[in-house]
Structure 1
Amino acid sequence: MRILGKDGSSGEVKVLPETDDDIWHLYNVICVGDLVTASTTRRDEKADDKLRAERAEKKRMTLGVRVEKIEYDGDGLRMRLLGVIEEGPQDIGQHHTLMIEPGEPLRIGKEHWKQTQMDRLETAARDTVKPRIVFVSLDQDEATVAVLRQSGLKEVVTVRSMRAGKQYDEKGKPFDYHGEIISKLSAVATPDMPLVLLGPGFEKETLADDIKRLPKGTFGSVYVQHTGQSGMVGVNELIKSGMGAAILRESSVGVEMEAVENLMTQIGKNGLATYGPAEVASASEAGAVETLLVLDSVLREKDLDDVVRAVENQKGRVIVVSEDHDAGRQLASLGGVGAILRYAV
């Protein structure tokens, strides 16, 4: 994400989303009622009714749309903003849909910017340069490829070894389990992405040896980690356990999962923790919050700026947790807000 400009008088911020993760950040910033201005396509109003009925050619133009509905595609990682045109060369007062995708700048106008929303944009601008992380969680029977994005942990594909069944491909050749995994990895991994191989047994080490024989630069740094289970369960186990490699600890999702795990541990032993909006607000007023954890969907729906400012003024830490991974779902079960405390209140 690049922040291209801020206009305090109009309440507008101009940004350029550069990655699909940036679309997720914008989903957490843009609200119903905002005026969003972006380049889009729309049919020419000068065409007569007959031509419009015959699907006249669309032209590119810049339109400002007052947002009435937001649709986010978590798999495709793009966003649709539906609303009424308020600014532009034509069709003022009519409905239109803006498609928000990487590489296209847009202006976001709000009557009031929450501090947490500006913080989200600035965090996105800082984190754009951080590489994603690709996991292969495997055993002798199957391998799961997953990608750790800022927006959460996403399963990409599962490859079965065929060792217990059909061992030949459609052309009658022996099925190459590791070759198939590497083929799937080539579609999602780039040389700047760390690659983590994990699971029980020795299959991960054998795959690591095969990857090392590939041309230099095919993939990024390769880390091999042992877990008790394979699949997505194994990936979550690895992240919760401390993640071994330093680069995993630096990822935003890794930080979130560790923080929620710490919160759940403190709650489980009746320690220095509290949860729920009212309880956390009370603790923040008392200056007792060391780490505040807030679910991203709660920040979209509620104004928690006062709580966030109180924690930050007391030198506390604020972590926004994605709802798209296990830790987010755990925090959601606690009301979407939790806090690790300096002392009991």
Structure 2
Amino acid sequence: MYPAIGEPMRILGKDAGQGEVKVLPETDDDIWHLYNIIRTGDLVTASTVRRDEKSDDKLRAERAEKKRMTLGVRVEKIEYDGDGLRMRLLGVIEEGPQDIGQHHTLMIEPGEPLRIRKAHWKTTDMERLEKAAKDTVKPRIVFVSLDQDEATVAVLRQSGLKEIVTVRSMRSGKQYDEKGKPFDYHGEIISKLSAVATPDMPLVLLGPGFEKELLADDIKKLPKGTFGQLYVQHTGQSGMVGVNELIRGGMGAQILRDSSVGVEMEAVEQLMAGISKGKLAAYGPSEVAAAASAGAVETLLVLDSVLREKDLDGVVRDVESQKGKVIVVSEEHEGGRQLAALGGIGALLRYDLQPQ
């Protein structure tokens, strides 16, 4: 089950001399932000558990109970678990009460503070951290994309769209459940929703035909406050294709327009439209850098994985100095995959650099 919505990530302290920031992630989205900020070579200090190996007796050390302690690990490998909503940092212990020089894995989860020390903080990293700490946490959105045959339940997070489960109506096959009772299609959908949705989360029902309206009628019969505000939207297709169609196509409800993923996908759509027309758009590292240097970039779009791997501070500074906007696009949704195909970086322009 997804955790309840919490407060924004807190910055607990900064030490400019050490290049160190202490933070407290509050939600799974905060873990996603940290995944995009922490890199190999950083020293991360956090509370963890490890066997007490003070004894010289190897057998006793192997039997020793694990104890909680604070260790500083020089990061060699980073693993993000989008399903478990946590991050693993693997590396060598450099600070702590024991086992200096040995390998250890830190588990980074919501509710546990950590310190991040870098030799150099990129401007984009610090801006992302501060934005995550200042922004109001907006409710996630839960989608049910359905037709008469099946329903897909999905969740929209800052890290992207996540498909949760598919429920089949059984109308064209087995009509009864294992206990011999008639299969309740809508009841099964509502049961799956109860595991992921809370009253804080808007609930969007979408798809072709009238099945979404029938499900909406059943949901409205539930006790008040069972789910969040209900939206019903028409799309040409169901499943994840329908969810992406809704977000790309104007995102009928205001709650969708306000979501970070919705903003990202809309910007990528604008970029793709500009490229297809050959106007007011640039893509690829060299073309975008030239546009930024000329002050022509209205909106810079950068894939989060590219921002992790490359130092784009110069391009970002050029854009921001000309009052341009920077959008970091998640690689976890369709818009991110489209941007990746363009080299992971693109720009919406104020004017064409090469007049047509």
- Which of 39, 45, 48 matches 1:40? 48
**Conserved 8 A contact 2:54-2:61:** no
Residue 175 of structure 1 aligns to a residue whose secondary structure is: coil
Q: 1:227-306 alignment to 2 at 5 Å? A: 227-306=235-314
- Which of 27, 30, 36 matches 2:38? 30
- Structure 1: gaps of 5 or more residues: none
Separation of aligned partners in 2, 1:58 and 1:218: 41
The alignment's TM-score, normalised by the length of structure 1, stands at 0.98
**Conserved 8 A contact 2:271-2:347:** yes
Partner of residue 12, structure 2 = 4
Q: 1:1-345 alignment to 2 at 5 Å? A: 1-47=9-55, 48-54=57-63, 56-127=64-135, 129-345=137-353
What displacement does 1:127 show? 4.0
Deviations 1:214-246 (A, max 9, x none): 001100000000000000000000000011111
Separation of aligned partners in 2, 1:196 and 1:123: 27
Shift in CA distance, 321/13, structure 1 to aligned 2, threshold 3 Å: same
Deviations 1:119-173 (A, max 9, x none): 1112222346211000000000000000000000000000000000001000000
Give me the identity figure in percent.
84
**Conserved 8 A contact 1:19-1:128:** no
- Structure 2: gaps of 5 or more residues: 1-8
Separation of aligned partners in 1, 2:334 and 2:345: 15
What displacement does 1:76 show? 1.7
What displacement does 1:53 show? 2.8
Residue 157 of structure 1 aligns to a residue whose secondary structure is: strand
Partner of residue 4, structure 2 = none
Counterpart of 2:181, as a letter, is K
**Conserved 8 A contact 2:301-2:328:** yes
Separation of aligned partners in 1, 2:329 and 2:261: 8
Counterpart of 2:30, as a letter, is D
Residue 106 of structure 2 aligns to a residue whose secondary structure is: strand
Q: Paired residues, what number?
A: 344
Deviations 1:96-141 (A, max 9, x none): 1101111100000001101110111122223462110000000000
Separation of aligned partners in 1, 2:19 and 2:183: 59
**Conserved 8 A contact 2:76-2:89:** yes
Deviations 1:301-337 (A, max 9, x none): 0000110111011011100000001100000000000
Deviations 1:22-45 (A, max 9, x none): 111111000000000000001112
Residue 163 of structure 1 aligns to a residue whose secondary structure is: coil
**Conserved 8 A contact 2:90-2:105:** yes
Separation of aligned partners in 2, 1:123 and 1:152: 18
Separation of aligned partners in 2, 1:230 and 1:37: 45
Give the root-mean-square deviation of aligned CA atoms: 0.9
Separation of aligned partners in 1, 2:199 and 2:352: 47
Separation of aligned partners in 2, 1:3 and 1:146: 31
**Conserved 8 A contact 2:147-2:208:** yes
Residue 311 of structure 2 aligns to a residue whose secondary structure is: coil
What displacement does 1:66 show? 0.6
